Structure 1
């Protein structure tokens, strides 16, 4: 089966370089139409898919009115990769956040959001310094070097996390606690010459717990729409707001327990990724057999490729030598609403109703909303 690539849709990583170009930052490429501005903000609403917004337009009239075109999240369509795309302007094959969890040679499988071992939960901040894992210049560093006030407005609990340091290095962090001060601090930053990143994560959380499109999810979407309305109404002259998302979401239908399927474990030494996008790390010499076994068992429920095949097909964009070993020897991306769970090894993740990570339109396409003061 061919993997859908949405090649004619701009990538999430193009948004911030286009904003920086509109702000006059030298060397930044403007590939999206953004008006020249004095200040700019990209607001990332975690988990807001293009399809979901269209299906629930009545719950989000402001976003619906302003959302004129989609972006593609890139593979994997997951938060670690999306935050890094905003923070570097690049796809996962270059910034290196190739999954929710992925193997870093010599250190084991890293949970990128928690910066802990995915195997035993141990803290990896010492063994894996954030800027060693993601050493490329961030968009915030590039903005600050051009004289802009580069600010990240996000939950106070994320201020000193390794993921923040890896993807938002160079930003002045403004920790907030609720929707009200998220809107207020964003507008405060935009009142001067600045580049601002703002983040709202609860829509994704509610989608995971109750399912995308559930009553709880729709109520949260209404609050997000009010947040966007508040910022748009308060935009100062010369300010631009871009609202984006890191991925969409699907409600899982069939769950398939990998650990209860012996033929999928032969030759496998470690798992990474997540329910919809798996990295499979194999024993030496076992890659071909593992790939064949996974293809045979999963059939048309997943796209299964070797590392080389996935890279050649452009799953991760351009892949650097630094990042290549982080990709599974075999990778599997779920089709439809299929879920590749690990009931024992990932009990919490396996229990969630809403999931993302793969290539379906519901996961890949996210809105691009632009508004100017």
Structure 2
């Protein structure tokens, strides 16, 4: 489909605006975010929780299992945000951590091309990736807050500390690690007992993990939502006076039937003209051989018709899918982009990790189920 797809809102009410608005609420001086609207109420300290994979449509549909989050849905004035494109964790962490759209921070996909080496690398695990600080040189919200005297703490898994993605998108925080969500909540509460202004970022990934392995329509997914809701409720009740709480997510998810999956390894027409296949199954980034981009786009548009949005790189940038795009970042983006509208996905069994072929829940595209995320805020008491 060649029609212009839905464009994420990069307007301060999206995922890019979450940390900037929280940082501004802490009174950080000389913050580039100070004028972002709508402003949050001032707070002495703040906790920001990102629940990986908890899309807004999923939360609304299952809100009966999440009484605390349901109460935030009812009371938060800005509950609807967009993750940005592609709606995938690596890109969203860049957007969340820097307050910039993907075209500015440069983390433009799950698997992308490094133009300097003409090779693909995975921005999530960063194995054999480029230098994180040159790939994403913009200051993070954590760095900006820290320079103004805010004590910034990230609570998550131990492998976050020093990872390529953390250095690119979330640098500037000390890392505290724990395996169980209850222990992460306890660490967050303990950190709040420190002196001065505190910014605590807590990450939880099991909603996403279970959605991938069992499906976001599964009983296991609902049970995990109930556990998350109970712990967030406990966190909220235990917050000291003067501390705000914000809950968001990096993307949503859809379940993809195995019958709707296409393997590029078995389709000579679709692979014609493609040099490298990046992105992910619901948001492909096709790097073509020289001069083949238009032919590849035409082939994919004819094959997928109304099942996908197919755009050339120039069309995607002009449409604003990545927001304002900095010089050099455009070279990282595929020559042809394919974002799924239906429940279909496309993968290449010759290059994808075998475990990824079995995933039930997937994301990355521009449907509301994947793109919309909750932005829920409880002001300081």
TM-score interval, smaller chain:
over 0.9
Count of residue correspondences: 364
Counterpart of 1:213 in 2: which secondary structure?
A: coil
Residue equivalent to 1:65: 71
For 1:21-170, what aligned pairs fall within 5 Å after superposition? 21-26=24-29, 27=31, 28-29=33-34, 30-67=36-73, 68=76, 69-107=79-117, 108-116=119-127, 123-124=128-129, 128-170=130-172
CA apart distance, 1:151: 1.2
Q: Verify: 1:19 aligned to 2:22, yes or no.
A: yes
CA apart distance, 1:97: 0.9
CA contact (8 A) 2:8 2:84 kept: no
For 1:192-341, what aligned pairs fall within 5 Å after superposition? 192=194, 193-253=197-257, 254-341=260-347
What is the distance in 2 between the residues matched to 1:32 and 1:196? Answer: 21
CA apart distance, 1:157: 2.5
What is the distance in 2 between the residues matched to 1:86 and 1:227? Answer: 22
* CA offset digits 1:316-362 (Å, max 9, x no partner): 11111121101000001000211112233213223211000111010
User: Could you list the runs of 5+ residues in structure 2 that have no partner in the other structure?
Assistant: none
CA apart distance, 1:32: 3.4
Q: Verify: 1:4 aligned to 2:34, yes or no.
A: no
* CA offset digits 1:169-203 (Å, max 9, x no partner): 11111122211221011122233411121100011
* CA offset digits 1:127-179 (Å, max 9, x no partner): x1111111111111101001100111111122221111111111111122211
CA apart distance, 1:258: 2.2
* CA offset digits 1:191-232 (Å, max 9, x no partner): 341112110001100000000020010111111101211110
Counterpart of 1:84 in 2: which secondary structure?
A: helix
CA contact (8 A) 1:46 1:204 kept: yes
1:191 maps to which of 193, 206, 228: 193
CA RMSD of superposed structures (Å)? 1.5
What is the distance in 1 between the residues matched to 2:161 and 2:281? Answer: 28
What is the distance in 2 between the residues matched to 1:33 and 1:136? Answer: 23
CA apart distance, 1:9: 8.7
User: Could you list the runs of 5+ residues in structure 1 that have no partner in the other structure?
Assistant: 117-122
CA contact (8 A) 2:106 2:135 kept: yes
What is the distance in 1 between the residues matched to 2:114 and 2:221? Answer: 35
CA contact (8 A) 1:39 1:191 kept: no
What is the distance in 2 between the residues matched to 1:5 and 1:66? Answer: 26
Counterpart of 2:145 in 1: which secondary structure?
A: helix
Counterpart of 1:197 in 2: which secondary structure?
A: strand
CA contact (8 A) 2:282 2:363 kept: yes
Alignment TM-score, normalising by the size of structure 2: 0.92
